[in-house]
Amino acid sequence: MSYAAPLKDMLFNIKYLAGIDQIQQLPGMQDAGLDTTQAVLEEAAKFNEGVLSPLNWAGDQNPTSWKDGVVTATPGFKEAFQQFTEAGWQGLQHPVAYGGQGLPKTIGASVGEMQNAANMSFALLPLLTDGAIEALLTAGSPELNAVYLEKLVSGQWTGTMDLTEPQAGSDLAAVRTRAEPQPDGTYKIAGTKIFITWGEHELAENIIHLVLARVNGAPAGVKGISLFVVPKFMVNADGTLGARNDVHCVSIEHKLGIKASPTCVLQYGDNGGAAGYLVGEENRGLEYMFIMMNAARYGVGVQGIAIAERAYQTAVQFAKDRIQSRPVDGSLPAAGPIIHHPDVKRMLMTMRAYTEGCRALSSVAAAAYDVAHHSPDAEVAEQNETIYEFMVPLIKGFSTEMSQEVTSLGVQVHGGMGFIEETGCAQYYRDSKILTIYEGTTAIQANDLVGRKTARDGGQTAKALALQVETTEAALTALATPDALAMAKRLAAARLAFVDVVNFMAANAKSNPNDAYAGSVPYLMLAGNFMAGWQMGRALLVAHEALQRGEDTAFMQAKITTARFYADHILTKVPGLRDSIVDGAGSVTALALDAF
């Protein structure tokens, strides 16, 4: 159950697909070249393989506990978090002005994948702190940021996002937590928040909750929600910690997976009201929280890639070790390792191709984010922001649904042993399920893709990306190797299906919303599959060029083989998804409620 970071694949994506050399040319990114990238990733691999990974199984077997309001983490987690913060990993991609290292998301995403593959329960703590930092950087006042940001960036304090309530779920219009203005400019916060990841712990000296609440007299619905900073411990004028604030953990959930991560029920205001500080302006809280949510959604997509990689590595090692049955081609005189069997190869290659395709897509999206936030050319920045925003629901939705299939295949490769906890692959399967649910279910991501990312601009962003894919197809056709021609053919068929569905969504999202949204999740899966397939096509081109130079021939040939497998076995699903959406919408919407 050990983990080895896939450094070669990460560096391949960052160098060739994300274009780290171009990112290095952006203002403030001069130190973020390939040498820096490699050095950072190698150090991250040592930490995650050596410190976090050994705690993963322990966290599942001896999860976080709660008693009398006190949350106790899995033994070893506190010491690991201390090492994590002392090494500066929390501040990796945050501003130098607040003590961070200012490295691009393109590097940070790969480090985040390692953390989550090594120990997803642990990695949730810095992931949510990252989101809190982004929200404050965008909407926090200078006074608020002066108090909180440096401590969050260092990891000395951690952050949470407190949205959900018992009656609200994902419908934030139903939020009831109250905020009462005080004469000194603060607010008294009262209410209950549920599903708060790492909402209480003793790993850091303070916890900074970002809380959605309604100011007295605010408008109904989402337009009346405001965002507040509510610290676990009050912060004195000199920066030292004061009294405990009126927020307490009243229980933690007993979960299917990620058991070492405490999922808390937080009670605000049992003793007069928790002191809160307004972020930005009243009634704009959801707008600000979406900044945090978008960062978290991308991060959850990376979690899907991470857990898929962990499951793949475990399955490959088992398949090499497990002796059972003579190969069907008679290549061995007796029973041999099951990796010789064609269906085991098929399962392993499916796991590998999905994981590498999604990793490539996430790396390219991270590069778009970096350009959007650092390019001095406003038009280029806006174009890349639009691309990144389009990609986020795909990375969150497709990569996490993919992780369900990959971790399930990991169990299947193990056979009966996969159903036994001690092999470890059952944990990956259980841990992965939450990824399709939290930070917005797959359906919520799909609705976002249809409404905000496709219908709003008439499908123009999606079609512009399709034109870029067409350029890749032409390059593959010109290369004219059997693998390149097969990829070009599959990409072309997928592109036509993608554009057809984009047109369908743009035409029907408002006029026939039931038909459009009945196909929203299949559309997300189609688009994610297609965009990841595009990156695999680009990877095939790069790997062929590298082979011609004699560069790392084993790795490059494996990359071509994996891309070809993706084309033949995964990309081919896209036209069928098109049919289910465009031709099959009516068979969903025609169902009467009494059919259930």
Q: Which value, to the nearest 10 degrees, does the dihedral of the CA atoms of residues 297, 298, 299, 303 take?
A: 90
Query: Which two tokens mark 323?
Result: 């002796």
Give every CB contact of residue 12 below 8 A, 6+ residues apart in sequence: 539, 542, 555, 559
User: From the CB of residue 239, how many other CB atoms can be counted at a distance below 10 Å?
Assistant: 10
Helix axis angle for 342-374 and 520-548, nearest 10°, is 90
DSSP structural state of residue 527:
H
Query: Which two tokens mark 60?
Result: 């599942």
Query: Distance between CA 482 and CA 547 in Å, rounded?
Result: 15
Q: Mapping DSSP to helix (H, G, I), strand (E, B) and coil, where does residue 188 land? A: strand
Query: Which two tokens mark 151?
Result: 């401590």
DSSP structural state of residue 14:
I
- Say if residues 303 and 236 touch (Cβ distance below 8 Å): no
Question: At CA 269, angle to CA 266 and CA 274, rounded to 5?
Answer: 90
Instruction: Give me the catalytic one of 165, 200, 356, 439.
Output: 439
Query: Distance between CA 575 and CA 561 in Å, rounded?
Result: 22
Amino acid at 442: T
DSSP structural state of residue 96:
G
Give every CB contact of residue 435 below 8 A, 6+ residues apart in sequence: 300, 303, 304, 307, 400, 403, 404
Query: Distance between CA 512 and CA 451 in Å, rounded?
Result: 12
Residue 318 CA: distances (Å) to CA of 162, 402, 521: 41, 21, 34
Residue 181 CA: distances (Å) to CA of 190, 223, 245: 12, 18, 16
439 labelled catalytic: yes
User: From the CB of residue 253, how many other CB atoms can be counted at a distance below 10 Å?
Assistant: 15
- Say if residues 412 and 344 touch (Cβ distance below 8 Å): no
Query: Distance between CA 22 and CA 367 in Å, rounded?
Result: 9
Query: Distance between CA 317 and CA 418 in Å, rounded?
Result: 13
Helix axis angle for 54-61 and 77-86, nearest 10°, is 140
**DSSP bridge pairs for 244:** 233
Query: Distance between CA 206 and CA 489 in Å, rounded?
Result: 55
Helix axis angle for 342-374 and 378-414, nearest 10°, is 160
User: From the CB of residue 376, how many other CB atoms can be counted at a distance below 10 Å?
Assistant: 8
Query: Distance between CA 14 and CA 295 in Å, rounded?
Result: 19
Which contacts qualify for 469-478: CB closer than 8 Å, 24 or more apart? 469/495, 469/530, 469/534, 469/537, 470/495, 472/534, 472/537, 472/538, 472/541, 473/537, 475/541, 476/537, 476/540, 476/541
Q: Considering only CA atoms, give the Rg of the chain.
A: 24
Query: What residues are annotated to the active site?
Result: 439
